[in-house]
Amino acid sequence: MMWFYKKLLIYRLYIGIILLGLAGGLGFMQEWGWFSVVLFLALLAIISHFLFGPIRLIQEAFQANDMVTAQKYIDTIKFPNLLIKPVRQGYYMLLSNMAMTNKDFEGAENYLKQSLKSSTKMLGQENEGASYFQLGMLAMQKGKTSEARKNFREALKKGLPDNETKAATFLQLSSVEIQARNLKQGRDYFKKAKALKPKTKEIKAQLVQMEKYIHRVR
């Protein structure tokens, strides 16, 4: 059943075009009952292709780290602006993640901004928060600390999906403030990160390093 569903998503547009041709033939033969049914199915297939795209297949390929297949599905979306907003937002987020994987940070930033333009309340503000967090990380890599601070604060304001991401955000803000010699605020952010008790090995290691650094800073 899953195999059939995947094939339907991949070939939905072609199926719709074939059905549209069949509907034309039925109309020519004045088979109006069947004409209405086939025309409806044809339009459903074609419209759903442009409104929804194969976003689920792209997600599955990306999660399986199969970038070749993910790119193949992405290439089938010729008019991303026709995608409904929640799908378009997810589409640009996936493109951003792929760009990050390929270390195309400029492209990742552009896609994130496109995703934010397509944001919708249907997906909740946590998705926006995650986007602002990634924008903050990209700004940090470029050494744009003021921009990074702004994006990290916006991420916290919008909300983040889990404590690990919140802790990472507070840690980044702590680093930014301490570098700017705003020591009290930097320590406050560090305490907030630590209070979340993150379980991710990388974040726990960053907490240890930051704590040592804070003790040295006066």
Instruction: Give the tokens for residue 24.
Output: 């034309």
Residue at 187 is within a domain: no
Tell me whether residue 27 is in a domain.
Answer: yes
33 belongs to a structural domain = yes
pLDDT confidence bin for 117, thresholds 50/70/90: confident
Residue 209: pLDDT over 70: yes
215 in a structural domain: no
Q: Is residue 116 a part of any domain in this protein? A: no
Whether the predicted pLDDT of 123 surpasses 60: no
pLDDT at 124 > cutoff 80 = no
- Calculate Rg over the CA atoms of the chain: 23
Specify the pTM: 0.70
- pLDDT per residue as tens digits for the range 67-104: 888 888 888 888 888 988 888 888 888 888 888 777 78
The domain in which residue 46 lies consists of 1-52
Residue 185 is encoded by which pair of tokens?
């605020």
For 19-71, the pLDDT digits (tens) are: 999 988 888 888 888 889 999 999 999 999 899 888 888 888 877 878 888 88
Lowest pLDDT segment from 57-61, 124-128, 149-153, 169-173:
124-128
Q: Is residue 39 part of a domain?
A: yes
Cα angle 74, 78, 80; round to 5: 80
Q: Across all residues in the chain, what is the average pLDDT? A: 85
Q: Is residue 145 part of a domain?
A: no
pLDDT of residue 126: 58
- If one counts the domains in the chain, the total is 1
Is 13 contained in some domain?
yes
| Nearest of 190, 159, 150 to residue 174 by alpha carbon | 190
